[in-house]
Structure 1
Amino acid sequence: MAEGGTSPVRRSSLRQQIADALRDEVLTGRLQGGRHFTVKEIADTYGVSATPVREALVDLAAQGLLEVEQHRGFQVRRLTAEDFRSLTDAQVFVAEAAFRHLSEHGMGELAAADLASVRRRAVDAARAAQAGVLDVLIGCDLRFWRELVAMGGNPHISEFLDRMRAQTWIYAVPHLRALPDLAGVCWSDHVALVGAVEARDTETARRLTKEYHRHIRALMDKLAPARS
């Protein structure tokens, strides 16, 4: 796919398509932590020119999913157990602040109109967690939290939490895939959480968020006790 003559809109779309595809590869563990690659390698894989690939990789590095290696290319970020603990602590802090904001100020007009979409995301995420379909769960869970927090009308909070949750999944996925059966293993109270937020029940929303925090921390301590 040649880049010459491509309009800015089309090139931007290609850059986003490549970033989305690689993000999915990283989040689902198909590109594992520590994996090295070059711009040329990815460009050859997708059959595109180097420019949109380089831009997509820089975008993913800015999201904390990749690391730039001087004169070598890129590497999938390898997160430690300490990184994971710090990220989950930060997620609870940010989510609680978002829920307080929702309770005090209400939902933005667009977020309120999209409440049905958030409920659907919650149902899909809960079903995937209960069934143990990890690839589906990751996408549904990320979209659920992103849309839920966005109802407060502050896209920066939503984006910040999304980045932290994506990095948490990068750490957790390899350990989860080691289990023979994931049915019922992952947290699945998405529906209850969206109900609490809709009712502006901040205490219940905080409790459910802390339950998620305890659940994922205990699960990772069990699955990776000596892999720090």
Structure 2
Amino acid sequence: MCASGAVTRSTLRQQIADALRDEVLAGRLQPGREFTVKQIAEQYGVSATPVREALFDLSAHGLLESDQHRGFRVHEFTVADYRSMVEARALVTDGVIRGLFGGPAPTEAQAARHRDCLVAVRRRAQEAARAAQGGDLDILIGYDLRFWRELDALWSNTYINDFLHRLRVQTWVFAVPYLRHDMSARDWLWHGHPELVAAFTLDDHDAVRAVLDDYNTHALNWAGRLAAGNPPHPGHGPQVPSADAPEPG
């Protein structure tokens, strides 16, 4: 773990949680890594209370495991976990899309808000696609998470949006160790963000459905490749083979 200096602003709990989440997403805090509240507090030069709160927040989001006697451990997701996340994400999104296109016509105010949202998210989509095509994993993760977070604003349900965001963070946490050890990783970075924005802009349900189907199929095909051992497990801990194995996200 690399500290970027003492955290001094008021939202210590959130800042520490965000910093540690970014360390996990970047693969610098690898699955199975153990640490204590005291270690993190010393790293950031803060008291134990906000650190403990931040670590429990990350545990609640499924990124850490807490042990009363040993501190905290970065959670290790399996291929089976990843497949379940992709399937859950697809089921929830499918229901949202059906409601979005099958519900009552939006009011003028809602339509205007949707247009504004799509204008903003289009820029994010272009950056995410460019990073994916260039194989720049660090930039891609940030833009991809922001892209989906902003696109989710179309359905204005914070409970669903928070759930989907949590799943997307977890899928990236699973994927990063593999992608950093895979010479062909660029081929497995989905870059259909602009096509999805274009489909929403045209209000084309079939086109939206087709892009999302491609997104999920791409993920599940990658998980199948991992389950077959290509690329091999990065070696950050034991992985239990899945009987019905293959697929990604």
Q: How many residues are treated as equivalent by the alignment?
A: 222
Cross-structure match for 2:181: 178
Does the 8 Å CA contact 2:83/2:223 hold for their aligned counterparts? no
Cross-structure match for 2:235: none
AA in 2 matched with 1:42? I
Does the 8 Å CA contact 1:129/1:137 hold for their aligned counterparts? yes
Percent identity over paired residues: 51
Alignment of 1:65-80 (within 5 A): 65-80=63-78
Cross-structure match for 2:236: none
Partner of 1:29, secondary structure, is: coil
The 1:203/1:160 distance shift into structure 2, 3 A limit, reads same
Shift of 1:81: 1.2
Cross-structure match for 2:201: 198
Give the TM-score normalised by the residue count of structure 2.
0.81
1:146-202 alpha-carbon deviations (Å, 9 max, x no partner): 111122111111110011111111111111111235334311000111121233322
- Give the alignment's Cα RMSD to 1 decimal: 2.2
AA in 1 matched with 2:57? D
Alignment of 1:56-205 (within 5 A): 56-103=54-101, 104=103, 106=106, 107=110, 110=113, 112-180=115-183, 182-205=185-208
1:59-103 alpha-carbon deviations (Å, 9 max, x no partner): 111111111112321111111111111100011111122222332
Task: Determine the C-alpha separation between the residues in 1 that align with 2:58 and 2:159.
Answer: 17
Shift of 1:2: 9.7
AA in 2 matched with 1:31? L
Unpaired runs of at least 5, structure 2 = 230-238, 242-249
Partner of 2:62, secondary structure, is: coil
Does the 8 Å CA contact 1:149/1:158 hold for their aligned counterparts? yes
1:54 pairs with 2:29: no
Task: Determine the C-alpha separation between the residues in 2 that align with 1:221 and 1:164.
Answer: 19
Give the TM-score normalised by the residue count of structure 1.
0.88
Unpaired runs of at least 5, structure 1 = none
